[in-house]
């Protein structure tokens, strides 16, 4: 009886496994984007100090990077909140 149950449930279990893998890959990509943006912000500061870009360009680019980092941070907080709800 358990063998038949396993055979019937196998496609559903496989789909769940695939969805988990996709979810983990997306989370990893978001984490990597945060690291990339932080490095880009550091490079932007370096270029400002080296005077290869002006204050205005620096401010515009910095604002875009900081906005994106804030967006990623809020997504991470939402994700942690959902995990806490699932665990609790």
Domain ranges for the chain? 2-87
Q: What does the alpha-carbon distance between residue 75 and residue 88 come to, in Å, rounded to a whole number?
A: 20
Whole-number pLDDT of residue 47: 96
Fill in the DSSP letter of residue 53.
Answer: S
The tokens of 25 are what? 């890959």
pLDDT at 2 > cutoff 90: no
- What predicted TM-score, i.e. pTM, was given to this entire model? 0.62
Residue with tokens 């055979």: 7
Rounded average pLDDT over 23-43: 89
The tokens of 29 are what? 């990509």
Q: What does the alpha-carbon distance between residue 48 and residue 37 come to, in Å, rounded to a whole number?
A: 16
pLDDT band per the 50, 70, 90 thresholds, residue 59:
very high
Q: Is residue 27 a contact partner of residue 79, using CB atoms and an 8 Å limit?
A: yes
């Amino acid at each position: 009886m358990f063998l038949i149950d396993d055979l019937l449930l196998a496609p559903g279990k496989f789909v769940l496994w695939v969805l988990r893998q996709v979810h983990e890959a997306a989370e990893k990509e978001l984490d990597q984007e945060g690291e990339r943006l932080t490095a880009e912000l550091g490079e932007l500061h370096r270029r400002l100090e080296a005077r290869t870009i002006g204050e205005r360009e620096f401010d515009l680019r910095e604002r875009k990077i900081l906005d994106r980092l804030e967006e990623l941070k809020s997504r991470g907080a939402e994700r942690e909140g959902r995990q806490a709800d699932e665990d609790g």
